[in-house]
Structure 1
Amino acid sequence: MKIGIIGYGAMAQSLCRLLAVHAPQIQVVKVLIRSGSKAQTKPLSLGAEFAFTTEQFLAADLDMVVECAGHAALKQVGPDVLKSGVDLLIASVGAMADAPTEQALIESALQSGAKLRIPAGAVGGLDVLGAAKLAGIDTVIYSSRKHPKAWRGTPAEKLVDLEHLTKPTTFFVGDARHAAMTFPQNANVAAVVALASIGFDRTQVTLTADPSATGNTHGIHAKGNFGEVTLTISGKTLADNPKTSMLAPLSLVRSLMNLEQTVVVG
């Protein structure tokens, strides 16, 4: 399988390293970045090349594109990828909380027959939520607890004093749509949970900064006709990006590997 990657930050670089170890048969051939980006100085996988325009990127013979560049890049490039007929696996799922972006991506996929693929990311239990939705889900609450440094550079800085917290402090309670759009670097998991269950407007979210946190903790609690499920995942973060769980790029690798597996679980 030949893939292209949009973006080359911590997530994309981790993805390339993991593919080399776990799925060397999946070849990265193109990486799309902005001209003049510092990422251009970073080493690429063997056989890969940088592309600086969408046209140059899509001119390659790609079987799959993986987005690792953030909401703005997904909004700008995602529809063109799907219109070209190439499946798109996205890390910045929170961008779909913006209704026009969601519509543009879906319509582009329908136009060409390409698939918009959403990985589990840093959480599990999406298979349970998807099955439970068929029986009926009444409520879904997603919670995220991270160290204050993971919330730096976000609107959380205006809501709490991140530098001087002495105890866990919840600074956002609301629906998944507002969470994903307000905290685009931190709330992609909220978007994934919402899409897997009862939607952006009904899924409730709490975001917490905890000075004692040693990683990112994600919680899901859902109730409905199916019964009740509670799930907690405490994951380590990427060394060079505390906002992102280590499981996020691993989930991308698993999604790609599943496309080539004879037996697919989950």
Structure 2
Amino acid sequence: MHLGVIGYGNITRALLGVLARAGRAPDRVTLLVRPSQAGVARASGAEVVTEAGALIAAAPDLIVECAGHSALAEAVVPALEAGIECVVVSIGALADANLHSAVTGAARKGGSRVVLPAGAIGGVDLLASLRPSGIEAVTYVSRKPPLAWKGTLAEGLLDLPALTEPATFFTGNAREAALAYPRNANVAATLALAGLGFEATRVEMVADPTVTRNIHEYRVTSGAADYTMRIEGKPSPDNPKTSLATVYSVAREVMNRRNEVAI
């Protein structure tokens, strides 16, 4: 397998480590990184390119995007047009209606597809399957330790280090959440795309000093089933904004293309 990866941050490094430990390391890896990252990325032993065109010319079997929202327009769209399947981690970027249209249009043009992994949550397969039954409501609550919200708009709304009790600093729909908190709302965007859409999916964000993990909770009411999910994700040691489960979810997408039985 020839795996292409966009970005060489925490998620990429953890992903390659998981694949290696699982005995499913790709035969070949090509990394697309910014020129300033090229030297560090080469130390991984992978092939390194600094332009989207070079990654596409390398013709990987699958591309995984781990580089943030700008990477979708810069690299994922042309890769899909070239017929290369892409797994997108920065799902919150699809809250931009124009970008969402560009991504789906590129996949259609190239006869490829964009895959959205479950990431930090579970039950997305059930949510998507319930859509024809009529979904009435989806409500998602993101609860994280205060410092996990550092570097976001929450800093201007709350004194994060001084919190002694949970504080809800955002209530709105999934599109508003994903656009205002792009590095923290991938789950909200995933639920929206699987279920009721961005406008109808309700979101709450909470800075909670009583928890030490990233907690994702959501409730679904539909014509075929009602259910509640609660996942206490362990934060990545290198980036508390990222749940470790996200890395394993992406690794599963890669391994399913090599495993004899895909689950």
Q: TM bucket by the smaller chain? A: over 0.9
Give the match for residue 6 of structure 2: 6
Alignment of structure 1 residues 233-252 onto 2, 5 Å: 233-252=231-250
Instruction: Give the structure-1-normalised TM-score.
Output: 0.95
Give the match for residue 96 of structure 2: 98
Give structure 2 stretches of 5+ with no counterpart.
none
RMSD, aligned CA: 1.4
Give the match for residue 39 of structure 2: 40
Instruction: Give the structure-2-normalised TM-score.
Output: 0.96
Output the amino acid matched with 1:245: S
Choose the corresponding residue for 1:86, options 75, 80, 84.
Answer: 84
Give the SS at the match of 1:36: helix
Whole-Å Cα distance in 2 between the matches of residues 262 and 24 of structure 1? 12
Give the SS at the match of 2:36: coil
Give the SS at the match of 1:221: strand
8 Å contact 2:52–2:74 — kept in the other structure? Answer: no
8 Å contact 1:143–1:220 — kept in the other structure? Answer: yes
8 Å contact 1:141–1:222 — kept in the other structure? Answer: yes
Give the match for residue 58 of structure 2: 60
Give the SS at the match of 1:114: coil
Alignment of structure 1 residues 162-177 onto 2, 5 Å: 162-177=160-175
Residue deviations 1:200-234, cap 9 Å, x none?
11100001111122110001101021131011000
8 Å contact 1:85–1:113 — kept in the other structure? Answer: yes
Q: CA deviation at 1:243?
A: 0.2
Q: CA deviation at 1:193?
A: 0.9
Give structure 1 stretches of 5+ with no counterpart.
none
Percent identical residues: 41
Give the match for residue 68 of structure 2: 70
Q: State the aligned residue count.
A: 263
Whole-Å Cα distance in 1 between the matches of residues 179 and 139 of structure 2? 17
Residue deviations 1:16-64, cap 9 Å, x none?
1111111435234211111123x63256544x11111111221213000
Whole-Å Cα distance in 2 between the matches of residues 25 and 36 of structure 1? 26
Alignment of structure 1 residues 178-189 onto 2, 5 Å: 178-189=176-187
Output the amino acid matched with 1:74: L
8 Å contact 1:143–1:205 — kept in the other structure? Answer: yes
Output the amino acid matched with 1:139: A
Give the match for residue 107 of structure 2: 109
